[in-house]
Amino acid sequence: MQYLHIKQVSIYKMQLPLYEPFIISLGPQNNADNILIVIHTKEGITGYGECSPYMSINGETIDTCCIVAQYLAKALLQMNALAIEECIAAMNKVIYGNNSIKSAFDMALYDIAAQHSDMPLYRFLGGNKNKEIVTDMTVGLNDPDKMAADTAKFKAAGFQFIKVKLGQTTANDVARIKAIRKKIGDAIPLRIDANQGWNTPTAINTLQALEQFNIEHCEEPIARWNYTELPAVRNATTIKIMADESCCDSHDAARLAQLKACDYFNIKMGKSGGIFEALKIISVAENAGIKLQIGGFMESRLATTAFVHFAYASDAIVHFDFDTPLMIAEDPVIGGMKYLTNGVIEIDDIPGIGAGIDKAYLKKPEAVIS
């Protein structure tokens, strides 16, 4: 194996404003509080990675990520950036968990490796551009009229798939979907996400009540720790179930597959710790006949570009939740993914991830150079 020496790691806090607060059952978010990792090698190849910590899901914040990143950077200095598995092991030896910040390092390492191989990331991962990537658009949790108006706006903009945040009482959540259907009709399938907001009886009652409304699937209906009851929820409804917060790594995926708990896994790099572990989740899913969605937290177009590359890595990946950059009011990303019409996404065939950050922007945020 060739050697690319990691000589420097730059850590930036990227606090990007949203157009409006984004609300889910776990609480509101007012900004995209993200961390940018830039790994420099002695040989001149630079890799970019980004994470978007979510306190109520992965237990990390922009501040904890910045501190932990310094420990991880120290461990990786002088290591071979191409030895990704060894680098992942070194980070795991430093600290348990903290998968959000680890995912940013992982992404930067894969960016370097793909550039070194002179391949776009999706080809480096063994993928092909054999499908159209079409993102959904997400309606945040709010009162029924507001949610119906937002859904109508997204339909008018041409989005083919709409995701709706739920997770409160059966009466309130059914009222939300009724208002949305009254506003936009029945043609566009709705994807719903309770973000663990229901207990088991409420999940079953709500899902059964929503079966008449052309619901494509439901993400994480009950608490992540209560995954052993997920099969009962799945068997009680015709709406397909997607595991999200309960499916962080390949061990979680294997347990869920064994329990026949869900129809889909939702892979997010901030849960898995990055691409290296996410590839193992794909393997579990393919062996179990489970389909996949690739999603994210509140990442900018930089990380989302990497997610799009990853989405080409397996035919089992059939759903794409890549709308968060559309919610961010500031875009410092150079290159990267492009939104076309009707939610269609395109990436260029250039080596690596193919995205970076405007150097002028990097003069603004708080930074640590290791």
Catalytic residues, by residue number, are 165, 193, 219, 244, 268
Residue with tokens 């209906």: 221
Sheet with 344-346: list strands edge to edge: 133-134, 344-346, 338-339
Neighbours of 126 (CB within 10 A): 10
Residue matched to tokens 């990520």: 65
CA distances from 84 to 2, 14, 88, 112 (A): 12, 25, 6, 10
Q: Report d(CA 217, CA 263) in Å as an integer.
A: 9
- CB crowding 260-269: b at 16 or more within 10 Å, else e: ebbbbbbbbb
Residues 6+ apart with CB under 8 A from 360: none
How many CB atoms are located within 10 Å of the residue 199 CB? 13
Q: How far is CA 92 from the centre of its chain?
A: 21
At 329, list the tokens.
Answer: 């009011």
Rounded to 5 degrees, φ, ψ at 299 are -70, 155
- What's the gap between Cα 90 and its chain centre? 24
The H or E element that residue 30 is part of is strand 27-41
> How far is the CA of 132 from the CAs of 23, 128, 295, 311, 362, in angstroms?
29, 11, 16, 10, 33
Distance CA 324, CA 309 (A): 16
